[in-house]
Amino acid sequence: MSIAKTYSPAETEEKWYSYWLKHNFFRSVPDDREPYTIVIPPPNVTGVLHMGHMLNNTIQDVLIRRARMKGKNACWVPGTDHASIATEAKVVAMLKERGISKKDLSREDFLKYAWEWKEKYGGIILDQLKKLGASCDWERTKFTMDEDMSESVIDYFVHLHKKGWIYRGIRMVNWDPQGKTAVSDEEVIRKEVNQKLYYINYKVSGEDGHLTIATTRPETIMADAAICINPNDERYTHLHGKKVFIPLINREIPVILDEYVTMDFGTGCLKVTPAHDLNDYELGQKHKLPVIDILNDDATLNEKAQILVGEDRFIARKKIAVLLEEAGALEKTEDYTSQIGYSERTNAAIEPKLSMQWFCKMPELAKPALQYVLNGDVKLIPEKFVNTYRHWMENVRDWNISRQLWWGQQIPAYYLPTGEFVVAKTKEEALTEAQKIDASLTINDLTQDEDVLDTWFSSGLWPISVFDGVRNPDNAEINYYYPTNDLVTAPEILFFWVARMIMSGHELRGQKPFSNVYLTGIVRDKLGRKMSKSLGNSPDPLDLIAQYGADGVRVGMLLCSPAGNDLMFDEKYCKQGSGFANKIWNAFKLVKGWEVDESLTSNNQTAIAWFGSRFNQALTEIEHDFAQYRLSEALMDTYKLVWDDFCAWYLEMVKPAYQQGVEKQKIDAETYQATVAFFEDILKALHPFMPFLTEELWHDELFGTRAEMDCCIVAQLPVNGEVNTQLIAEIEVIKQVVEKIRNTRDTNQLSPKEALPLAIKANSAIDYSGYKTIIKQLGNVNDLSLVNDAVNGASSFIAGTDEFFITLNIAIDVDAERERLQKEKEYLSGFLRSVDAKLNNERFMANAKPEIIDNELKKKADAEAKLKIVEDSLRGLAG
């Protein structure tokens, strides 16, 4: 196979992804290997791939591929969640476009449309993930409303109900008037909003005077049940026990006293509207006030409002301001900013609303779930999130699990004609239960609760239900794969999702659902703004892949992703990624271009031994990075291993020197074979990050003929190689020597092509005769000699504690040389002084650990040796 000038990702990616699929490399079934399991955070069926998914799934894929290459039975379970509110909203919108209204449909018909929608759009993200290279076991793809998954949800509900942890109650809920459902506290996004504060006069009953209240919601005055003042407020003592009239509708309401009212906010008179404000509701309960609900489910005013009936709340607000003005009841308005809640799903302003809901008691579930994290059974990465988690779990409130929707698992509660209810898995079982209450009941007497369960109630079971562990708690799969290993998700859903999985894991299996939770940051643009559709600052991930290749984008994502911190994404990182791919490609081209000449003998043993050691050392470092989930650093360590150590140093050491007139470079067999072997190891180390490029090169004929199943994706990572640390340390000195030779060339404005003679006066134990080849090749040195005395009149430098001399054809600039040496001398003397200061300090000698002192002594000796050399050189220069 001939090789193209640059790497072109597109066809490669398509080719190898299908190959992997065809050969079932992503497939996992239980066997006797150690399992390594990740369940995907199921994306919404409504979504399309965004940068957050890219980051999240790149990380998961790196982890899963690495585990696979370490010989584990790697299983990555993909799937989607049904996102009840968001999906229902989409379906309602779709129907509206077709001229169909949801309220004209039966539940059954509506669900048919919803499933149709899900089939059409629900798999988009998963398909897009394939472009990224995600090696999920697609045969395991799950959806939270699959029959078995839903059954698991119902089982869990029944289970919790039996324990008495699920109950019904009237509560003030966050009502989404657009979705026409309650949403949980966590699904409300608070935003600062500029509003107006309306000052409204209420006439005092039986007197001429009035009092003034301040409110942001004048349209709710018709629902007022009282006016509340602080009993300590001296301005209003005359109002104690009085009644006032609500303007426009002239309903009489009492003035009540409660210290709850802040005297210095507004006027100190608070209108109490129990039906439409959480705090007012509680105040109303305390003072036994009536609850007057003037809003419909869609937040239009109902007939209880008496006026503006049928108007939307916001339109009513504008209109009532005018009416109040006309009636002379509007004192003034002021600009005012406050926090308003918006539905995460529909972006409608949340309306506090009283309604009957299902709740799940949290304290009993939260307590053990907190322990898993506190005692380290479940590790949060980074650790800082433990505090946040604890704070939540210790202040947890009961969870509203019902949603007034159709798309989702319908609550398995069945009402008797009397209004009593039973909870059971099926209607038949419910009947049996119901008949215990009234033996004469038949199945037609039972009506199932209309509401569905919160989506998190089902995704909270995800790591168990994907292995059918709720319905069949002792099946082979759940026993093998559960607890899973790593979970990769966003901190915003630590409580929503992660905590609930830990709760259900403990409750159902007495076990944690996963050992490590890697929390990624939010992907922001380079200005630090969260990427969002509305801002239009998010690149299309698929465009990025088309432009930079999947490998390039994967590298780009990881380069800028410190664990748990937000990442400032910039396309330039992807560019760096694709540049890296190209570098590897070109290194490959070089090696591939070599022709072996069997008659040549190798003199690259040192280089080969060095890179072998360096490679093993780097593997250990990378392993260490992964153990701490420092993926960004693991990648950077790999990057530098390949680019610097392999390409810039090793290949330059061994590559056949340019020979005039020789068209093909020849190389000895030993070096060739070693280099090819190194390259193969490098492909393995790179594979988790750059699966496509590595797989492509893996199959090149350079490596001989490969069996069909011999693929990089299942190659085993090299382990436990030897590291010759002395050799590595000595090569570091050799690199310095080479750099200084190049520097000498640079400062004397000599061409790199001009070969130079080098004399070495070794003061250290390094045997330079073994490094001659390398120095000659990299430094373009034509004559290398080992000497015992300083060479006069030559340009010199020091590396380590050894001296080096280059005799130049041109006269060296003595003054410049002296200045350079003088500077070095000053630095060394200063350094020596600081070391001596420590060593002469009694308290240092008394307090510092012995190894620290040893180190200082070594530094002293080292500096003294160097200083002596510099001083000698200076003397030589003078003489």
492 is a site residue for RNA (CB under 7 A): yes
What is the rounded distance in angstroms from the CA atom of residue 218 to the CA atom of residue 206?
A: 24
What is the rounded distance in angstroms from the CA atom of residue 781 to the CA atom of residue 657?
A: 12
How many residues are present in the chain?
Answer: 879
Provide, rounded to whole angstroms, the least separation between the CB of residue 191 and RNA. 10
What is the rounded distance in angstroms from the CA atom of residue 295 to the CA atom of residue 305?
A: 8
426 is a site residue for RNA (CB under 7 A): no
Q: Which two three-digit tokens encode residue 756?
A: 């130079």
End-to-end CA distance of the chain: 64
Residues from 798 through 837 that contact RNA (CB under 7 A): 831, 834
- How big, in percent rounded to 5, are the helix, strand and coil portions of the chain? 50, 20, 35
Q: Which of 475, 855, 868, 872 binds RNA (CB under 7 A)?
A: 855
Burial class (CB in 10 A: 0-12, 13-18, 19+), 339: exposed
Residues from 300 through 339 that contact RNA (CB under 7 A): 339
Q: Which of 164, 528, 536, 879 binds RNA (CB under 7 A)?
A: 528
Using the minimum distance from each CB to RNA, give the nearer residue, 324 or 738: 738
474 CB-near residues (< 8 Å, 6+ apart): none
DSSP 841: -
Asked if 542 and 49 count as a contact pair (C-beta separation under 8 A), the reply is: yes
432 is a site residue for RNA (CB under 7 A): no
Residues from 60 through 119 that contact RNA (CB under 7 A): none
Provide, rounded to whole angstroms, the least separation between the CB of residue 225 and RNA. 22
Asked if 500 and 460 count as a contact pair (C-beta separation under 8 A), the reply is: yes
Q: Which two three-digit tokens encode residue 192?
A: 């600062």
What phi, psi does 773 have (nearest 5°)? Answer: -55, -45
Residues from 548 through 607 that contact RNA (CB under 7 A): 559-560, 562-563, 565-568, 570, 572, 576, 578-579, 581-583, 586-587, 589-590, 593
Residues from 728 through 747 that contact RNA (CB under 7 A): 738-739, 742-743, 746
859 is a site residue for RNA (CB under 7 A): yes
Using the minimum distance from each CB to RNA, give the nearer residue, 259 or 644: 644
Provide, rounded to whole angstroms, the least separation between the CB of residue 183 and RNA. 13
Q: Which of 838, 860, 874, 877 binds RNA (CB under 7 A)?
A: 838
665 is a site residue for RNA (CB under 7 A): yes
849 is a site residue for RNA (CB under 7 A): yes
Provide, rounded to whole angstroms, the least separation between the CB of residue 199 and RNA. 23
What is the rounded distance in angstroms from the CA atom of residue 779 to the CA atom of residue 738?
A: 5
**Three-state SS letters, 351-382:** EEEEEEEEEECCHHHHHHHHHHHHCCCCEEEC
Provide, rounded to whole angstroms, the least separation between the CB of residue 857 and RNA. 11
Binding mask 354-393 for RNA (x = CB under 7 A): ------------------------------x--xx--xx-
Question: For 353, how many CA atoms within 13 A lie in the half-sphere containing its CB?
Answer: 23
Beta bridge partners of 188: 343
Q: Which of 208, 658, 725, 811 binds RNA (CB under 7 A)?
A: 658
Annotated binding site for ATP: 533
Using the minimum distance from each CB to RNA, give the nearer residue, 254 or 382: 382
Amino acid at the residue 71 = G
Dihedral angle computed from the Cα positions of residues 53, 56, 62 and 65, in that order, rounded to the nearest 10 degrees: -70
Provide, rounded to whole angstroms, the least separation between the CB of residue 762 and RNA. 21
Provide, rounded to whole angstroms, the least separation between the CB of residue 200 and RNA. 25
444 is a site residue for RNA (CB under 7 A): no
Q: Which two three-digit tokens encode residue 439?
A: 């033996």
Applying CB under 7 A, the span of 57-65, 206-214, 596-604, 643-651 interacting with RNA comes to: 643-651
648 is a site residue for RNA (CB under 7 A): yes
Asked if 118 and 45 count as a contact pair (C-beta separation under 8 A), the reply is: yes
Residues from 118 through 177 that contact RNA (CB under 7 A): none
**How many residues lie near RNA (CB under 7 A)?**
75
Q: Which of 118, 142, 509, 655 binds RNA (CB under 7 A)?
A: 655
Annotated binding site: 533
